[in-house]
């Protein structure tokens, strides 16, 4: 290998001479002449160097590109080394210097010529020979980081300067020879004395501001940079520092090609490259599967820059493992031999001879050449991908899925590359490329659309099934190819989504389970996993699918044979699949289930149930089975409930069920509480052999029972009291369990409550044997029965108790009697009562008959009605008497006997209270009003004299009983007979009768006392309100129209004659003490009520026109007296104001529509019809006395002054046709009324204008209508009053002027200037020349024009 250090002197001299010739001939240096293009050349180079690249680092890419394009000696591993040092070996003042070493053949003279020009390259037209850059242009980019680049190669020692040369004024491309600085020794000292310096060394003293950027980019040179370089095998970066510890080295090497295979049919080759990178002692490696394929260039994609190229060469690199990178550096995805800055987000790298932007950052997407390349990439990828996946038949199936990570599943970060991604996807989707599951040796590949995924849980089941020996070779025969289990992982979900690989249909799982016979073939543990898989996915996947119809559920039928049900079969039929809630009685229930064919229950086999109990997800499986297969988890209790519901009329299963309960309880499989529940609902066989499902109680079989001796037969069959069949006493053998005789009955006695007397709880019903005499033994058995029930707190049912009470089974002194009519005496009161009562026999129990043992059952005897006490015997006598009275058999003598018995008992110091209480409520005592109870009878005396006048009272009938009855007063009082009045006011009210002939003052006071002392008595008061029982000055009246006088308002009652006032002469002053009671009956006692009542009378008289003069004047007098009273009689005063009760000249009027006449009204009375109050002595006249009430009338609304009578005048206006009547006083009074009325703003009544349209205004032309008159004003015109129809001021005086506005309202012309028409109308009547002239002058002043100009 040649070296710059070993170049012969002759070569160095020739090189120097070549450089001097370039300077002299091209740039006119030393010739004394100026190159005319010097300035343009300098600017062109400067512009190119600055704009060529957008980043400072691209000079590195150009230098690497140049190194790749260089020629290398044979046997040499081409390498490129970058070394950065802080030594300023060029003496240019740079703080850092970058040296580039390349072991190429070295620069030739033509290379030197090219680098000293712009736009010249020795590689143009040589793309087919493998050149990838354009030497001469790329090199000039070094000026971005260095102002004086140096080149040492093949004897050449030159440098360039960006500053224009002082001799030619051109920079960048003018070479200068380097004599001594730096020297080769300087270079060797940095590179290393022990090593041979490579042929070419480029020295770049760095610009101060570029040092950091250069170091950063050198440190981030991508390790994959060597992938697509065909020559360079090694690239290194070093840093030469004074402190060796701070130096870093990054070294990348590429191994030789392996597994090279040519694909002649597609002009392709594949190989594997191993790339290694060492950095700070740590080495990383990555293998890359390389695919290189040629495609013919299409005519439409040809461009001038690649005119000589006929084939595109596209290389794809697929990294096996983690791509090499440095730190978090993003890896380029597109190479044009060297990396661009395009990060594609594709999991493979694209390399081709792309045309790049001048910056090398990106390819030109709109260039036809590049478009053609990108269109071929999907085909290249597909060929590479198929080869990768399918080429090695021996590759294990688990290795294939990783290949699919090369698919571009994520969108590119560069949108313009999306067509590449979609093109790849469209090709992959139609290729048989996806590995499918095969349990044979042959691999199967299918299109993505033909393949489907399984749920992970089902893969687990299939794996375990295969391990256990289940044949799964037909896995893909169920209508779908199944994705390889190695590929069907969550890791590949994104890839599979990109391929569109779907999940299998829900129907497939059912086909697989059934077709592979999994339920039958797998063990119980795996069977649980299958059930869990189905249960866990039921809601979202399998509900309503064919999963419901496959034989999925295993059970044992009644013959012990393993059978299968589908979910539909289990859920839709009436029979049920069951699981024992506890494994200890699994076999127990299965055995007994054979005895109950009607139960429609079958069970999972014990092995399955055991596996389920041990399964970790048993709750999920059980819940699913219960909800969707209607599987019942049964205990012995719940199973028993189901059996009970199914039992029919077959005797054997009913008997078997009783044995089932007995043995289950004996085995402790059911506790007492649930046993009781089942006993309560279980059917039984009765003594007739019938199955009975509902009953109220159970009787033990009749044979050997006590109830038969007492009751004969079962009297309560209708009440569902069931006598058990004798079968329950017999031995039995069921489900392998044996029951000996009477064992079952003893069990039923305890738990079914099968009972015998005296333990039976009787129904609410009778039994017939107690209706006739009972033997002593049965009597005591009955009492013992009652005693036992009472001791347990059992209430004796009404009908049962009644039949015992009412049955004539108990022996007494008067024969067999019901207990409720029998007495048991423990003292001598019995004999006393028998001797004292001669008219009633008392049935005493025959204790001797009952062996004097009845005292043991005293409480039971009481319960069935036997009486023990004297009071009860007394009540019995009384009740007998009352029954006699009810049948009209109680005679006068019986009553005396009763009174005598009461006296006898009192004399014997025995209380007659019970006897009295038993008879005092009966209606057996004769009164004047018929038979009554004693408490409703009254002994008549003087106290009842007044009350008897106003009420019908039931007095004791002395005539019937005789005077002797009076000797029993104390006994009668004990019975409740009333002696003396004793404030019995309520009796008066209850028996009140009304007759006006019997109403005395004392009777009235008694009535008021009744009201005072009896509360409530509203009905009595309502009755009194309508009766005429109050004595007044006008006779008896109803209280609501009668008055109790009060001096304060006595005047009200004097207004009208005939007002009913309480008659004090009849009652005296005592009546005043009952004012409140009188008020309650409606009597008028208060001022407000009196006012309303008088107002009502007043309105009635007004409506009948019957109000007299005296009443009217009295009314005004009361008004005068009461107008200051508090409170005011509002009702009366309002009536006086509103009613038409004042007789006027126009008829009856209310005060507000009436006038009280005086002299001021005289003028107005001539021209209006006015309602003057009639002060005469006629029928309705009020006389002159009315004037004495002027103030009162005024307050009531009567108009008493003419100045307030304008409305009357307006409404009643009646101007006479005789104008002579219209005197000055009349006219002025009338105008005053008009003025007042107009001022009030009240609308004029209809017809007013017609009423004033008469000749009543006196003018100089005679009497005229108002609208034919003019009000004269001498100040306004020169015309005189006699010149027209001016109102006669001489007649009316000056007062007429104050009515100017009023006159205007009624039509008078009040402005002289506006009266020309009226004046002109009277012109013909004028004879005086002066007057006529004056009138014409006036008319001229008014600009008067006649309506008809042709008229005279």
Taking the C-alpha atoms of residue 884 and residue 1273, their distance in angstroms, rounded to an integer, is 124
Taking the C-alpha atoms of residue 736 and residue 381, their distance in angstroms, rounded to an integer, is 77
Quote the pLDDT of residue 256: 46
SS3 percent helix, strand, coil of the chain, rounded to 5, is 45, 15, 40
pLDDT along the chain (1352 residues), means of 10: 60 91 88 71 64 54 85 91 91 93 93 81 52 54 90 94 88 91 90 91 93 84 83 86 62 54 68 81 84 93 90 93 74 88 92 86 92 96 91 69 91 92 95 85 87 93 90 78 90 93 92 90 92 94 92 88 90 87 89 89 90 92 92 92 91 94 94 93 92 90 86 90 90 91 90 90 92 91 93 92 93 90 73 59 85 89 86 76 73 83 78 83 88 90 86 90 88 89 88 84 88 89 87 86 80 78 86 87 82 84 85 85 83 88 90 90 90 87 88 90 88 90 91 91 90 91 91 81 89 90 92 87 84 85 77 56
DSSP per-residue letters across 327-375: TTPPPPSEEESEE-S-----SSEEE----B-TTSSSB-TT-HHHHHHHH
Element housing 54 (H / E)? none
Quote the pLDDT of residue 2: 41
**Residue 1318 burial (CB count, 10 A):** 19
Q: 1148 has which bridge partners?
A: 1143
Quote the pLDDT of residue 225: 81
Q: 578 has which bridge partners?
A: 603, 632
Taking the C-alpha atoms of residue 1094 and residue 1038, their distance in angstroms, rounded to an integer, is 16
pTM, two decimals, is 0.52
Q: 84 has which bridge partners?
A: 98, 239
Report the relative pairing of strands 1142-1144 and 691-692 from DSSP bridges.
unpaired
Taking the C-alpha atoms of residue 252 and residue 250, their distance in angstroms, rounded to an integer, is 7
* Biggest alpha carbon–alpha carbon distance for the chain: 191
CA dihedral 1218, 1220, 1221, 1222 (to 10 degrees): 110
Which pair of tokens denotes residue 515? 């077709």
Q: What is the DSSP letter of 316?
A: E
Rounded to a whole number of angstroms, the CA Rg of the chain reads 71
3-state secondary structure 767-795: CHHHHCCCCHHHHHHHHHHHHHHHHCCCC
CA dihedral 213, 219, 224, 226 (to 10 degrees): 90
Taking the C-alpha atoms of residue 136 and residue 110, their distance in angstroms, rounded to an integer, is 11
Burial 606-638 (b: 16+ CB within 10 A, else e): eebbebbbebebbeebbebbeebbebbebbbbe
Element housing 1338 (H / E)? helix 1329-1341
Which pair of tokens denotes residue 574? 């009436």
**Residue 411 burial (CB count, 10 A):** 12
CA angle 1185, 1187, 1191 (to 5 degrees): 125
Quote the pLDDT of residue 122: 53
Which pair of tokens denotes residue 1085? 């006692």
Which pair of tokens denotes residue 497? 């989504």
């Amino acid at each position: 290998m040649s070296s710059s250090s070993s170049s012969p002197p002759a070569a160095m001299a020739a090189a120097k001479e070549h450089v001097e010739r370039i300077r002299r001939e091209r740039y006119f240096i030393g010739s004394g002449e100026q190159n005319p293009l010097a300035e343009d050349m300098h600017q062109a180079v400067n512009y190119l160097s600055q704009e060529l690249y957008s980043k400072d680092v691209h000079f590195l890419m150009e230098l690497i590109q140049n190194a790749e394009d260089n020629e290398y000696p044979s046997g040499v591993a081409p390498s490129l080394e970058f070394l950065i040092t802080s030594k300023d070996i060029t003496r240019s003042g740079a703080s850092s210097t970058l040296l580039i070493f390349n072991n190429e053949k070295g620069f030739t003279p033509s290379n030197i010529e090219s680098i000293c020009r712009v736009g010249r390259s020795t590689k143009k037209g040589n793309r087919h020979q493998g050149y990838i850059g354009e030497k001469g242009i790329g090199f000039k980019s070094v000026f971005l980081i260095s102002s004086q680049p140096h080149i040492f190669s093949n004897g050449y020692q030159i440098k360039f300067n960006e500053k224009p040369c002082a001799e030619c004024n051109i920079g960048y491309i003018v070479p200068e020879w380097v004599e001594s600085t730096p020297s080769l020794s300087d270079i060797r000292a940095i590179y290393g004395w022990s090593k041979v310096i490579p042929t070419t060394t480029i020295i770049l003293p760095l610009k101060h501001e570029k040092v950091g950027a250069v170091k950063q980019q050198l440190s981030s040179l991508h390790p994959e940079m060597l992938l697509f370089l065909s020559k360079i095998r090694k690239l290194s970066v070093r840093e030469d520092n004074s402190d060796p510890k701070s130096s870093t080295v990054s070294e990348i090497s590429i191994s030789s090609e392996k597994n090279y295979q040519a694909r002649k049919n597609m002009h392709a080759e594949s190989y594997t490259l191993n790339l290694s990178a060492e950095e700070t002692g740590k080495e990383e490696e990555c293998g890359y599967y390389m695919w290189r394929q040629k495609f013919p260039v299409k005519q439409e994609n040809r461009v001038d820059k690649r005119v000589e190229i006929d084939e595109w060469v596209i290389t794809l690199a697929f990294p096996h493992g983690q791509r090499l990178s440095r730190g978090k550096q993003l890896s380029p995805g597109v190479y044009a031999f060297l990396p661009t800055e395009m990060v594609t987000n594709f999991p493979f790298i694209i390399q081709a001879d792309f045309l790049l932007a001048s910056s090398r950052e990106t390819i030109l997407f709109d260039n036809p050449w590049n478009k053609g390349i990108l269109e071929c990439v999907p085909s290249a990828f597909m060929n590479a991908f198929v080869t990768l996946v399918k080429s090695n038949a021996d590759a294990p199936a688990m290795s294939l899925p990783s290949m699919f990570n090369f698919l571009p599943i994520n969108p590119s970060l560069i949108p313009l590359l999306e067509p590449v991604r979609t093109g790849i996807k469209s090709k992959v989707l139609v290729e048989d490329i996806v590995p499918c599951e095969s349990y044979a040796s042959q691999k199967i590949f299918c299109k993505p659309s033909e393949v489907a995924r399984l749920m992970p849980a089902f893969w687990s089941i299939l794996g375990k099934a295969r391990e256990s020996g289940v044949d799964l070779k037909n896995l893909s025969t169920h209508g779908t190819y199944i994705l390889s289990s190695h590929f069907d992982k969550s890791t590949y979900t994104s890839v599979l989504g990109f391929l569109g690989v779907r999940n299998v249909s829900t129907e497939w799982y059912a086909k697989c389970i059934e077709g592979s016979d999994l339920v039958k073939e797998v063990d119980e543990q795996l069977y649980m996993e299958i059930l869990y898989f189905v249960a866990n996915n039921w809601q979202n996947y399998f509900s309503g699918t064919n999963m419901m119809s496959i034989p999925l559920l295993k059970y044992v039928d009644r013959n012990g044979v393993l059978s299968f049900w589908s979910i539909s079969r289990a859920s839709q039929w009436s029979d049920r699949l069951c699981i024992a809630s506890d494994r200890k009685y699994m076999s127990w229930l299965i055995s007994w289930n054979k005895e109950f064919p009607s139960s429609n229950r079958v069970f999972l086999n014990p092995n399955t149930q055991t596996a389920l109990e041990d399964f970790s997800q048993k709750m999920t499986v059980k819940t699913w089975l219960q909800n969707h297969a209607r599987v019942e988890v049964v205990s012995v209790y719940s199973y028993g409930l189901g059996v009970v519901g199914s039992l029919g009329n077959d005797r054997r299963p009913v008997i078997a069920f009783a044995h089932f309960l007995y043995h289950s309880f004996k085995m402790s499989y059911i506790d007492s509480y649930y046993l009781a529940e089942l006993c309560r609902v279980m059917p039984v066989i009765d003594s007739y052999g019938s199955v009975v499902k509902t009953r109220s109680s159970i009787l033990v079989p009749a044979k050997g029972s006590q109830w038969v001796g007492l009751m004969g037969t079962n009297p309560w069959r209708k009440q569902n009291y069931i006598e058990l069949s004798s079968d329950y006493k017999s031995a039995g053998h069921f489900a392998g369990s044996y029951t000996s005789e009477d064992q079952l009955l003893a069990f039923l006695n305890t738990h079914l409550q099968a009972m015998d007397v005296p333990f039976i709880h009787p129904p609410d019903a009778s039994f017939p044997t107690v209706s006739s005499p009972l033997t002593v033994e049965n009597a005591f058995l009955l009492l013992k029965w009652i005693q036992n029930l009472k001791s347990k707190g059992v209430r004796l049912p009404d009908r049962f108790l009644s039949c015992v009470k009412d049955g004539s089974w108990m022996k007494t002194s008067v024969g067999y009697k019901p207990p409720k009519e029998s007495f048991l005496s423990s003292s001598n009161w019995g004999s006393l009562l028998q001797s004292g009562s001669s008219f009633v026999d008392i049935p005493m129990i025959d204790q001797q008959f009952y062996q004097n043992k009845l005292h043991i059952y005293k409480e039971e005897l009481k319960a069935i009605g036997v009486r023990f006490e004297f009071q009860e015997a007394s009540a019995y006598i009384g009740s007998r008497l009352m029954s006699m009275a009810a049948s009209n058999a109680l005679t006068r003598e019986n009553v005396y006997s009763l009174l005598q018995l009461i006296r006898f008992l009192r004399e014997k110091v025995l209380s007659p209270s019970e006897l009295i209480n038993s008879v005092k409520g009966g209606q057996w005592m004769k009164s004047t009003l018929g038979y009554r109870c004693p408490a409703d009878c009254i002994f008549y005396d003087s106290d009842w004299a007044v009350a008897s006048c106003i009420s019908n009272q039931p007095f004791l009938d002395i005539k019937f009983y005789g005077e002797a009855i009076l000797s029993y007063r104390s006994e009668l009082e004990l019975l409740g007979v009333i002696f003396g009045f004793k404030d019995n006011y309520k009796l008066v009210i209850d028996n009140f009768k009304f007759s006006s002939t019997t109403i005395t003052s004392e009777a009235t006071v008694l009535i008021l006392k009744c009201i005072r002392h009896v509360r409530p008595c509203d009905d009595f008061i309502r009755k009194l309100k309508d009766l005429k029982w109050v004595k007044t000055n006008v006779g008896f009246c109803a209280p609501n129209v009668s008055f109790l006088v009060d001096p304060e308002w006595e005047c009200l009652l004097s207004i009208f004659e005939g007002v009913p006032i309480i008659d004090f002469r009849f009652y005296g002053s005592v009546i005043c003490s009952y004012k409140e009671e009188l008020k309650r009956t409606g009597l008028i006692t208060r001022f407000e009520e009196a006012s309303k009542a008088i107002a009502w009378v007043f309105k009635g008289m007004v409506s009948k026109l019957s109000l007299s003069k005296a009443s009217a004047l009295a009314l005004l007098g009361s008004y005068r007296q009461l107008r200051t009273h508090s409170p005011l009689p509002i009702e009366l005063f309002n009536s006086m104001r509103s009613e038409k009760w004042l007789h006027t000249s126009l008829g009856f009027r209310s005060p507000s529509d009436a006038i009280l006449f005086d002299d001021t009204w005289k003028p107005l009375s001539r021209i209006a019809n006015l309602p003057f109050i009639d002060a005469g002595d006629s029928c309705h006249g009020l006389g002159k006395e009315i004037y004495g009430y002027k103030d009162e009338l005024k307050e009531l609304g009567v108009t008493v002054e003419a100045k307030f009578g304008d409305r009357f005048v307006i409404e009643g206006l009646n101007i006479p046709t005789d104008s002579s009547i219209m005197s000055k006083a009349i006219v002025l009074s009338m105008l005053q009324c008009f003025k007042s009325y107009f001022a009030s703003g009240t609308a004029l009544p209809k017809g007013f204008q017609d009423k004033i349209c008469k000749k009543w205004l006196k003018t100089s032309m005679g009497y005229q209508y108002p609208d034919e008159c003019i009000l004269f004003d001498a100040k306004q015109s020169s015309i005189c009053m006699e010149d027209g129809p001016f109102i006669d001021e001489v007649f009316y005086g000056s007062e007429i002027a104050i009515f100017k506005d009023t006159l205007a309202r009624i039509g008078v012309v009040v402005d002289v200037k506006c009266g020309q028409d009226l004046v002109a109308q009277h012109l013909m009547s004028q004879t005086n020349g002066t007057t006529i002239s004056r009138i014409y002058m006036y008319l001229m002043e008014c600009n008067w024009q006649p309506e008809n100009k042709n008229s005279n």
